[in-house]
Structure 1
Amino acid sequence: MRVLVVGGGVAGAAVAYFAARGGARVTIVDAGEHAASHVPSALLNPVRGQSGGVDERALEGLALTWALVRELEGAGWRVPHGQAGVLRPVPDERTRARFVRHLPPALPHRWLTPEAFPVPLAPGWPQALWLPEGGWLDGAALCTALLGASGAEVMRGRAVAWDAHSVTLEGGTVLRGDAVVWCGGAVGAGWAGEAGTHRAGTLLTLERPATPLPVSFGAYLAPGAGGTGVLGATFEAPTPTWHPPTLPAPSLRWLLDRGGALTDLRGVRVTGRWSGTRLSGLVAGRQASGVWRLSGLGSKGFLLGPLLARHVAGDVLRDGAA
């Protein structure tokens, strides 16, 4: 069975990996514009946002992503990561109550008071949620490892049209297969003229980690590959279409202020900037056109992307064998 995958971000790379592992011959069409999946340090954090929501698939997704990292590294692929936990400080009892309402009993966690915080935080945080199974990983490295380990053929180019059995590239080349899986993300949806919810975000890269493990509330601080660090957030107003992300001066000040509210940033030098746009509005499965789709993962790309990719790849293979 030949499977054509449009998009080489975390969704497309994971679909390719699981489809190939199931015996398919996979070709990926990749324009190289999947910025959101190439985030230098992505949080694996099952407790999301300032409301503390937990997706019903978060525990399974978290376990699978970490298992994939171990599997890929065992096969010789380097994926910088740290499964050392995530600390989520909360500002008051009302916020803690929101978090508590969402916490599933099976999720390992502990509430800490300031004297027990595993990293120094700025004054004013009365308590924090400790998630020992969370952590961070290098998004680009994971995508590269998944693509490489899949053995998929990678066609560098932009898909301009697709149906249930073919993908047409810019320039007129037509690829044909038994199934097509579209994993275009924010940029791909923009090129396709689809309306959606696009959220731009920015990371400032730091010469060293501001904290030795991830800390998150409003913005996040985390280690990165090679002894670096990041400070990031998704905070620009959502837009219905994709636009190249920017970082206005007020947003830069907001981001630095939020980082300083988490911990002392004095002496930590900013070395660069990464920006990307996430597409919200999850779609996973076969569409009426016959094209399969996995997109709209939003900020849960590395938490849920591999898990949902395994489901979609499995369904594609079962359908092809029927």
Structure 2
Amino acid sequence: MRVLVVGGGVAGAAVAYFAAQGGAQVTVVDAGIHAASHVPSALLNPVRGQSGQVDGRALEGLALTWALVRELEAAGWSIPHGQEGVLRPVPDERTRAKFARNLPPALPHRWLTPGDFPASLSPGWPHALLIPAGGWLDGAAFCAGLLDVSGAEVVRGRAVAWDAHSITLEEGPRLQGDALVWCGGAVGSGWASEAGTHRAGTLLTLDRPATALPVSFGAYLAPRAGGTGVLGATFEVPTPTWQEPTLPAASLRWLLNRGDALADLRGVRVTGRWSGIRLSGLVAGRQPDGVWRLSGLSSKGFLLGPLLARHVAGDVLRETAT
């Protein structure tokens, strides 16, 4: 059985990995342009947003992502990551109560008071939620490891048309397969002229980590590979189509102010910028035209992407074999 995958981000790479594990011959078509999955330090945080929502699949997804990191490293890949936890400071009692109501009993966690906070956390936060199972990982290394270990054939190019059994490339041959899974993300959706919700995010790369473990509320600070760090957020007004990501001066000021509110940034130097666009509006499964799809993961790509990819790949193999 031959499975075609459009897109080599976390969704496409994970679909390729699990389809290959199931015995399929896999070809991935990846343009490699503006891949949001190649974020330098992706936050693995099951407690989302400023109200502490927890997706019902978050704990299983988190466990699977960490298991894949271990599998890839056992196969010889270096996946920069930190599984030391995530700290979620909250600004008041009302927000803490929201978080507490949403926390599932199965999620290990601990509430900290200011006397227990890491020294780097800015003053003024009355409480902080420590989630020991959370952490960060290098998105590009994770995706590359999945693709390599899958053994998939990777074709560098842009898919301009596709159906349930084929892909037409902008330059190159038409590829044929038994099933096709579209994982094009924000850029692919824009190229296909699809309406959607596109959210721009920016990470400032730092010469050292401002905090020993990821800290998140409104924005986030986290370590990254090489003993450096990031400050990032998704904060621009959503757009209905993909646009080249930018960082206006007002947004830069906002991001730096959010970073200062989280931790002491004195002496931390900004060394660069990474910006990407995420597509919101999850679609997972076979569509009416017969094309399978996994897209719209938004900021949950590394939390839920591999888990959903395993489900989609399994359905593709079962239903295509019948």
Residue equivalent to 2:195 = 195
Residue number in structure 2 paired with 1:281: 281
Matched to 1:104, the amino acid is: P
Q: Secondary structure of the equivalent of 1:311? A: helix
Distance 1:171 1:306 in 2: 30
Q: Does 1:270 align with 2:260?
A: no
Partner of residue 315, structure 1? 315
Secondary structure of the 1:190 match is helix
> Deviation at 1:56?
0.4
Q: TM-score, normalised to structure 1's length?
A: 0.99
Going from structure 1 to structure 2, the CA distance change for 1:119 and 1:144 (only over 3 Å counts) comes to farther
Aligned residues: 322
Runs (4+) off by over 3 Å: none
The one-letter code of the counterpart of 1:78 is: S
Q: Distance in 2 between matches of 1:117 and 1:200?
A: 31
TM-superposed deviation, 1:35: 2.2
Once the two structures are TM-superposed, the CA of residue 240 in structure 1 deviates from its matched residue by: 0.5
Whether the 8 Å contact between 1:109 and 1:130 is mirrored in structure 2 is yes
Residue matched to 2:15: 15
Deviation at 1:316, TM superposition (A): 0.4
Structure 1 partner of 2:206: 206
- The SS at the match of 2:243 is coil
Which residue identity is paired with 2:85?
G
User: 1:154 Cα deviation (Å)?
Assistant: 0.6
Q: The residue matched to 2:161 in structure 1 has which SS?
A: strand
Contact 1:9–1:34 (8 Å) recurs in 2: no
Corresponding residue number in structure 2 for 1:126 = 126
Residues 20-79 of structure 1 show CA distances to partners (whole Å, capped at 9, x for unaligned) of: 011000000000025210000000000001111100000000000000000110110110
Matched, 1:225 2:225: yes
**Unmatched runs of 5 consecutive residues or more in structure 2:** none
1:156/1:172 CA distance change after superposition, 3 Å: closer
- The 10-residue stretch of structure 1 (216-225 or 117-126) with the greater mean CA deviation from structure 2: 117-126
Point out the more displaced range, 76-85 or 116-125: 116-125
Q: Residue 66 of structure 1 aligns with which residue?
A: 66
Residue 196 of structure 1 aligns to which amino acid in structure 2? G
What are the residue-to-residue correspondences of 1:174-189 with 2, within 5 Å?
A: 174-189=174-189
SS in structure 1 of the partner of residue 20 of structure 2: helix
Secondary structure, in 3 states, of the residue corresponding to 1:211?
Answer: coil
Cα distance in structure 2, aligned partners of 1:158 and 1:124: 49
1:291 aligns with 2:291: yes
User: How far apart are 1:268 and its partner, in Å?
Assistant: 0.3
Instruction: Using the aligned pairs only, state the percent identity.
Output: 84
CA RMSD of aligned residues (A): 0.7
Whether the 8 Å CA contact 1:40–1:140 is kept in 2: the answer is: yes
Q: Distance in 2 between matches of 1:202 and 1:172?
A: 34
Partner of 1:259: 259
Letter in 2 for 1:305: G
**Could you tell me whether the CA contact under 8 Å between 1:7 and 1:34 is conserved in 2?**
no
Residue deviations 1:225-274 (CA, integer Å, cap 9, x gap):
01010000000000000001000000000000000000110100000000
Q: Whole-Å Cα distance in 1 between the matches of residues 191 and 97 of structure 2? A: 42
Q: Is the contact made by 1:90 and 1:127 (CA closer than 8 Å) also made in structure 2?
A: yes
Query: Cα deviations across residues 184-227 of structure 1 (Å, max 9, x unaligned)?
Result: 00000000000000000000000110001100000000000010
Following the alignment from structure 1 to structure 2, what is the Cα–Cα distance between the partners of residues 70 and 19? Answer: 19
CA contact (8 A) 1:160 1:169 kept: yes
Q: Is residue 163 of structure 1 aligned with residue 163 of structure 2?
A: yes
Using the size of structure 2 for normalisation, the TM-score is 0.99
Is the contact between residue 11 and residue 295 of structure 2 (CA under 8 Å) also seen in structure 1? yes
Once the 2 structures are TM-superposed, how far is the Cα of residue 117 of structure 1 from its aligned partner?
1.5
Q: State whether residues 120 and 210 of structure 2, in contact with CA within 8 Å, keep that contact through their aligned partners in structure 1.
A: no
Partner of 1:153: 153
Instruction: Provide, for residues 116-173 of structure 1, a one-character-per-residue CA deviation record: whole Å limited to 9, x for no partner.
Output: 1234311100010000000000000000000000100011000000000000000362
Moved more, 142-151 or 34-43: 34-43
Counterpart Cα distance in 1 of 2:312 and 2:35: 22
- The match for 2:76 is 76
Quick one: which amino acid aligns to residue 88 of structure 1?
A: R
